[in-house]
């Protein structure tokens, strides 16, 4: 079972995390569309939308309303839970990468503040390198 705890969002703001999640949903729907060999026109006809609207949803240019998400999944023969799980995992990965970069930058700034002596001390006590 996937744990959707908000504290796992690391350093991305809620808006950034939501954007990452929405983009991952669109990406997964595009992948399913390719697997099924369907066109935007095919999907639009099944769902009752214009092909341009389908294009915007699948490119991540517009957020997909939950009811439309369900319809798109059905038209694409996709399991909404699977699409959501994969998108969640991708958004988590993006969030972890952002946090890692933030911490690496913070460490670099801290080491720079202590100069060469601080860096030598850190490296000697971390066991990775010695001066």
Token pair recorded at residue 129: 């390198």
Phi-psi region of 10 (alpha: psi -120 to 50; beta: other; left: phi over 0): left
| Cα–Cα separations (whole angstroms), residue 55 to 9, 62, 94 | 29, 9, 24
Instruction: Classify residue 79: in a domain, yes or no.
Output: yes
Burial (Cβ within 10 Å: 0-12, 13-18, ≥19) of residue 66: exposed
Write the secondary structure of the chain as one string of H (helix), E (strand) and C (coil). Answer: CCCCCHHHHCCCCHHHHHHHHHHHHHHHHHHHHHHHCCCHHHHHHHHCCCHHHHHHHHCCCCCCCHHHHHHHHHHCCCCHHHHHHHHHHHHHHHHHHHHHHHHHHHHHHHHHHHHHHHHHHHHHHHCCCCC
In the chain, how many domains are there? Answer: 1
CATH code at position 62:
1.10.260.40
Q: Domain limits at 42?
A: 12-97
How does pLDDT run across 39-59, given as a tens digit for each residue?
999 999 999 999 999 999 999
Instruction: Classify residue 126: in a domain, yes or no.
Output: no
pLDDT confidence of residue 117: 60
How does pLDDT run across 76-116, given as a tens digit for each residue?
999 999 999 999 999 888 878 877 877 776 666 666 666 65
pLDDT confidence of residue 24: 94
Instruction: Classify residue 131: in a domain, yes or no.
Output: no
pTM: 0.67
Instruction: Classify residue 18: in a domain, yes or no.
Output: yes
Contact predicate 25/80, CB 8 Å: no
Instruction: Classify residue 107: in a domain, yes or no.
Output: no
């Amino acid at each position: 079972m996937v744990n959707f705890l908000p504290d796992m969002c690391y350093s991305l703001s809620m808006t950034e995390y939501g954007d990452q999640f929405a983009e991952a949903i669109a990406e997964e729907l595009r992948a399913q569309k390719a697997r099924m060999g369907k066109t935007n026109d095919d999907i639009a006809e099944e769902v009752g939308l214009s092909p341009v609207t389908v294009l915007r949803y699948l490119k991540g240019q517009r957020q997909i309303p939950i009811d439309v998400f369900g319809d798109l999944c059905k038209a694409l023969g996709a399991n909404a839970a699977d699409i959501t799980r994969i998108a969640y995992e991708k958004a988590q990965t993006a969030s972890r990468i952002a946090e890692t970069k933030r911490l690496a930058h913070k460490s670099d700034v801290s080491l720079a503040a202590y100069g060469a002596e601080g860096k030598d001390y850190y490296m000697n006590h971390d066991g990775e390198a010695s001066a």
